[in-house]
Structure 1
Amino acid sequence: MAQRKLNHHDHLLAGLRKRNRDAQFQAYKQYSVAMLNTAIRIVGNKAEAEDVLQEAFLAAFTKIDKYKGDSTFGAWLRRIVVNKSINILQKRKVSLVPLDELPLDLSGEQVTESPDTPLWNIDQIMHAVNDLPDGYRVVFSLYLLEGYNHREISQILNISEGGSKSQYNRAKKKLREILTTPSYV
């Protein structure tokens, strides 16, 4: 089974390298939903995410020769989607606040959940994530939803690793605030 999947993957990549339209369509069918969801989580709206998706696939198809196979094609494509999404945010002039410029207490105290903490469904949580400020949402999405670590996020966003951790913790705090407002409970 693994050999068959590998052969399909190799066949798809060979087709992409030959600029074969059927291979491009197969790649689009296979990866578009996941990549669109990644873009939506970062840019915060479907219309811009669809633009990101088109740009990312176009870039992947035209620059397939730059794919060296160090990671899966899906991981390489996801990185393109993340970078294109971040470019959209930079055009919006989203700023991530450097850790050393924050006036707030960074004591690092852990917030413990009480037994009375309400539970939310996934739709409420995703809606609340979309309500986060762009900078918080980007770091939160990259870390928790896309699986990047803070070192990788700091490199992608050109911020310090501490800045990534701070943005993530602030995103969690803000998300908790959003979810505990009466309209979400």
Structure 2
Amino acid sequence: MLVEQSKEGDRNAQYQLYKLYVDAMFNIAMRLVTIREDAEDVVQESFVEAFKKLGSFRYESSFGAWLKRIVINRSINHLKAKRLLFSSMENEQEPVEEENIEEVHELELEKIKIGLSRLPEGYKQIITLYLLEGYDHIEIGEILGISTSTSKSQYHRAKKKLIQIVNAL
């Protein structure tokens, strides 16, 4: 009933679904991304995505299972983005004291934001769709009107360029 009302745009029903599932989804995200703020972001982005795509929910599973899959995919994409950027800088970093890790994360994230802003528009689109929005290469191809292989090759070029920019900062 709540899902149907939410599909029709009923904000109260959406809020009720949110309240019903937010704690469980946060726990899932927390287990995967381990940083509270990141988990909160993943959960919020997941609910936004779920409500936007609610029309595609086909009752093949429970709403909770469908939402859980979105949270897991968002969490994995979040970790991929972090891993991509931190692993590229790993060789150039000196050892970090435990209490400075959060500072280093903030600095690196700022470098990543700057790097993204300096990417050519096409590269920025591919990186954003793949790493931040969680689309796969087939979906990106459909969105941008390019082939799946073009999406993959552009993504790898974009990733390489982003790493170069970030390492130069």
Structure with max Cα Rg? 1
TM-score by length of structure 1 reads: 0.43
Q: Which structure has greater helix proportion?
A: 2
